[in-house]
Amino acid sequence: MSDEFDFWKEFKSNKKGMIGLIIVLFFAVIAIFAPIISPYNPNTTNPALFLSPPSRLHYFGTDTLGQDLFSRDIYGAQISLIVGISAGAVAIVIGLLAGLISGYLGGAVDEVIMRIVDFFIVIPALVFMIIIAALLGPSLINVIMVIGLLSWAPTARIIRSMVLSIREWPFVESAKANNAGKIYIMFRHIFPNVTSVLYGNAMLAISAAIFTQAALVFLGVGNVTSISWGGIIRDAYTSGALTAGDFSFILPPGIFIFVLIFGFIMMGFATEEIMNPRLRTIKG
């Protein structure tokens, strides 16, 4: 499709977008090749190396169990990306469906969906997530579902407002006059015209999910058994690394979270910039 070709061409010349993409690809490579890149098994404990400082053998030192922090930081990228992308996808899919249905069907359906959206927008999401995660148990799938289910509302709202204007366009009326059903119009006519905001939104949803996941683990309700940046920060915090000035323990995962989120946000901004309707024709 010519539109996609154009998109990549424009994206390449967009600085923000390329910075974001390079950052995200960098972490993706780290996550995928973690077993090759990391010098140690991140789960191998060694009591002799209790909180050892950075050295040539252990670039970021070790934690209280003597596990190599550099290796753990590398493996941490996996969880952040998996949870971020999966939860972002859940949020976007639910938001998209809710927005489409609510905006196109209108009436009572719209009322109900929008009240639910309002509910999810006003509740303190993190508190809610802690409660649910605690109730359901901290498996990876649960964390993804909880984050996804609690962050679709803003997307639903944006999609709904777009649908409200697109459904009035004459091309929709033309399809109606030709016996098109509601499902057909929603998915064939309206959906392709809202995807432009979806991409940007997805990037932002992913970055939010990465942060939320880290926060949940830090607070002890996430999946604490698998290695994640939030978990490392939590370990650092409980071991007193912060007060001891042990920055090689606490800073790398914090910086990684920040940079990865920054990468996705930059991609999101770039996507929105490019997707914004521009004037393609020259008048007069």
| Contact footprint for another protein (CB under 8 A) | 2-3, 169-171, 173-180, 184, 189, 192-193, 280-284
- Pure H helices in the chain: 2-12, 15-32, 34-37, 69-105, 107-122, 125-136, 140-150, 153-166, 170-177, 182-184, 191-218, 229-238, 241-244, 247-275
Of the two residues 126 and 180, which places its CB atom closer to another protein in the complex? 180
- Closest approach of another protein to the CB of residue 241, in Å: 52
Report in angstroms how near the CB of residue 11 gets to another protein at its nearest: 14
**Rounded least distance, CB 12 to another protein, Å:** 13
Map tokens 């006519």 to a residue.
189
Closest contact distance (angstroms) between CB of 163 and another protein is 14
Angle between helices 247-275 and 15-32 (to 10 degrees): 130
Assess contact for 206 and 84: CB atoms under 8 A: yes
Nearer to another protein, 2 or 243 (CB): 2
User: Pick from 183, 225, 208, 238: which is nearest to 90 by CA?
Assistant: 208
Rounded to the nearest whole angstrom, what is the least distance from the CB of residue 179 to another protein in the complex? 5
Closest approach of another protein to the CB of residue 182, in Å: 13
The answer for residues whose C-beta is within 8 angstroms of residue 212's C-beta and 6 or more apart is 87, 125, 126, 129, 147, 151
Whole-angstrom Cα distance, residue 199 to residue 193? Answer: 12
**Shortest reach from residue 189's CB to another protein, in Å:** 6
Closest CB to another protein among residues 142, 193: 193
Contact 62, 69 (CB under 8 A): yes
Q: What is the dihedral of CA 92, 98, 102, 104, to 10 degrees?
A: 60
CB nearer to another protein: give 122 or 177.
177
Decide whether 65 or 180 has the Cβ nearer to another protein: 180
**CB nearer another protein, residue 10 or residue 272:** 10
CA distance 274 to 14: 9
Nearer to another protein, 166 or 233 (CB): 166
